[in-house]
Amino acid sequence: MTIPVIPSTFFLTLLLAVGLFFFIKASVKERTEQQTICVPQDADTLLEQIQNYFHSRAYRAIAIDRQENSITYEGLVRPSWFMAIFLTLLTAIGSLCLGLVLSMAIPASGYGFLALVLFSPLAGFFYWQKAKRPEQVFLQLEAVRSSESRTESLIRVTAHRDELATLKQALVSKQSENI
């Protein structure tokens, strides 16, 4: 192999390793968002439905503020087996590539750099330890609008973006069942 090819390949592989590092770090990042959801139900029925929803997802109410019409739920986020295995596999492939490039760049070391693959389970372990954390969901009843034939409740929800999507889907599916 020509001399200029090895340093450029090493540089590109190093950039990929840095990207992999930040991908693993971002896998445990908290992604809390706030959304306002309009549901065509009266407040009492909606709050009962939300309470049943969070109870079924192993959340518990930790704070209820009647003046602010708000409830705070807390639950434990479980890490994903798929994500832990996926990150371990990605790290193994990245470590193998880095080990091969280092072996070519420093031929005197032989294939000793391939041992970097042995550290790949640390990525899955890191994810598993950091992803398991308590998560809070904050709900506040904003307003109740009534018209002649319909009542709508407006709630503001602050939660992880995946939990928000699941909650909205559950509320929409309940509405289609009631129709």
Average pLDDT over residues 137-149: 79
Q: What's this model's pTM, rounded to 2 decimal places?
A: 0.71
Both tokens of residue 29? 């990042």
Q: Which residue has 């992999």 as its token pair?
A: 20
**Per-residue model confidence (pLDDT) at position 87:** 96
118: confidence class by pLDDT, cuts 50, 70, 90: very high
pLDDT in the model for residue 85? 96
Q: What pLDDT is stored for residue 149 in this prediction? A: 67
Higher model confidence: residue 32 or residue 41?
32
Tell me the pLDDT band of 179, cut-offs 50, 70 and 90.
very low
Residue type, 124: G
Average pLDDT, the chain: 86
